[in-house]
Structure 1
Amino acid sequence: MKLYKHGVINENLLTSLKEKNHWMSKPENFNDPYEFQFKKVSNEELDEMEIDQDFIDNNPDVTDPMLLKKMVLKEYQNQIQNFGVTCFTENNRNMLMWAHYSNNHTGICLGFDVGANPKEHGYIKVRYAEEYPEINLSSIWNAEGLMKILTTKSIDWENEQEWRRINEDGNQLHPYGSNLVEVIFGCRATIENIEKVKAILAGQNIGFFQIVIESDNFNLGIKKI
């Protein structure tokens, strides 16, 4: 299976290609303010929540149990905002994604071989829903629950067929999770940018392609270059 990552051809991308890494952004930098949310927790639900003793010991001046529980939730929200996320798609011919994420078709789309089981390489499929995910207050730091928050988006985005890789340290560069095997240039990519990318990746087992405008339909064609 291959997953694809759109990008703009600039100095940052060229350096990333040389060093084989991705920029993983913190949630605050994403274009959808509805992401990385969870359902509001009622006071009744909070009342049933048990607080870890270490958290109590680290906040000796706070004696109100309800306030302590709200502080736990706040810390949870803050922790979510520190994660780094980078995004991929199953579909390399989505016209809207080429326009939005590859600089109006002047950019690039990188194809990675993620094998038969992408989860083994740290790729998590995005879940599309009409409601925010719920958190389990009995195991608030459970990894599965955190991943659900980090990989749930509004159903309005489901056409993107998105997958994600996640790291605890956001706004940093992190190594590829799998091999780069394919590079697709937008139909408006310049010869100069194409040659820059090909020079960086020369001698590697990578296929180079370009999107072409079809003569009689709105489909995105692809040709080998």
Structure 2
Amino acid sequence: MYNIFEQDHKMAIEMGIPYVFRFRPPNDNTLSELKENYIWFSDRDSLNDELDSNPEFVKLSTHPSELKLLYDTVAENILDPRTKKYFDRNMTPENLQEFANTKIKPFVSSFGIACFTMYPMNKKLWEIYSEDNKGVCLHFDSSDDPTFFHNILPVHYVSEIKEREYSPISQPNHIIDLFYKKTEDWSYEKELRLLKDRAGRVKFKTSSLLNVLIGYAAEPDFIEKVVTAVKEHYNNVKVYQVTGPISIGKLSYKPLYIPE
């Protein structure tokens, strides 16, 4: 029995992140990600929890000083004279704030989100995100690609998601907190989350992928395609297959491909 994953998880706890894991289902999208070394970043509307990163919980501050700051900042950055004249005649701090509130949802939806975990010995994740142990778990060393994994952070689990006040000028980054809170119902995921400024494909360094772990119920055709993708597109990635159901703290597997 190999114990690299148990060792890596222990090391990750002792040293902080660098080892992170991502579960994927047995489909063509997963194979495409492997072949072309990218991660698909979803928008928040594609997430499986309606409370997750929900812009309905964000309200712009109505404090007079924040309203004035927003108004002055917008006014100072209007360069076109005709637009500036229209703004001065028709816009007040209050109706500017009302207009800005309508832009929160598209702003939140513009971010790309990718989910990882710090713990591969997770029965539920294998069942849910790897299509009942038929898919894969990708094992990354985030320290090998600090640009791609910049600001990967753990999700904070709370009893309830509460409305938050957002001050876009004085605290522009405070809205990011919205993406890193989920209810305690999801705490079993032990999620690490990575944000990008857009949804879609984002490439990672091939050297940051360490291992591919295939579920014990994977179909032979999918296994063959995974091994072939790894052989053709990576130099040092190993492929293993889980040999039985996962239990907490225990993961047994066998090697399928070990590069020379």
| Short-chain TM bin | 0.7 to 0.9
Task: Give the letter aligned to residue 113 of structure 1.
Answer: D
Which one is further off, 75-84 or 48-57?
48-57
Q: Given that residues 8 and 108 in structure 1 are in contact (C-alpha distance below 8 angstroms), is that contact kept between their aligned partners in structure 2?
A: yes
1:149 paired residue number: 178
Map of 1:115 onto structure 2: 143
Number of the residue aligned with 2:227? 198
Partner-residue secondary structure (3-state), 2:20: strand
Report the Cα offset of residue 156 of structure 1: 1.8
CA RMSD of aligned residues (A): 2.9
Return the match for 1:210 from 210, 235, 241: 241
- For the 8 Å contact 1:185–1:209, the answer to whether it is kept is yes
Letter in 1 for 2:111: F
Ranges in structure 2 where 5+ consecutive residues have no aligned partner: 1-17, 256-260
Structure 1 equivalent of residue 11 of structure 2: none
Amino acid at match of 2:223: I
What stretches of structure 1 of length at least 5 have no aligned partner?
Answer: none
C-alpha spacing 1:176/1:119, structure 2 compared with 1 (3 Å): closer
What is the CA–CA distance in structure 1 between the aligned matches of 2:217 and 2:170, rounded to whole Å? 47
Supply the distance in 2 between the matched residues of 1:100 and 1:124 (Cα, whole angstroms): 22
Task: Confirm or deny: 8 A CA contact 2:115 2:194 kept in the other structure.
Answer: yes
CA distance in 2, matches of 1:32, 1:84: 15
Tell me the amino acid that sits aligned with residue 212 of structure 1. Answer: T
Q: Cα 1:218–1:110, aligned 2, differ >3 Å: closer, same or farther?
A: closer
What does residue 104 of structure 1 align with?
132
TM-score by length of 1: 0.84
- Secondary structure of 1:22 counterpart: strand
> What is the aligned partner in structure 1 of residue 251 from structure 2?
221
In our comparison, the structure showing a higher alpha carbon Rg is 2
Shift of 1:159: 1.4
CA distance in 1: counterparts of 2:37 and 2:168, whole angstroms: 40
1:13 pairs with one of 30, 35, 47? 30
Q: Cα gap change, 1:221/1:23 in structure 2, threshold over 3 Å: closer, same or farther? A: same
User: Once the two structures are aligned, what percentage of the paired residues are identical?
Assistant: 21
Question: Aligned residue pairs: how many?
Answer: 220
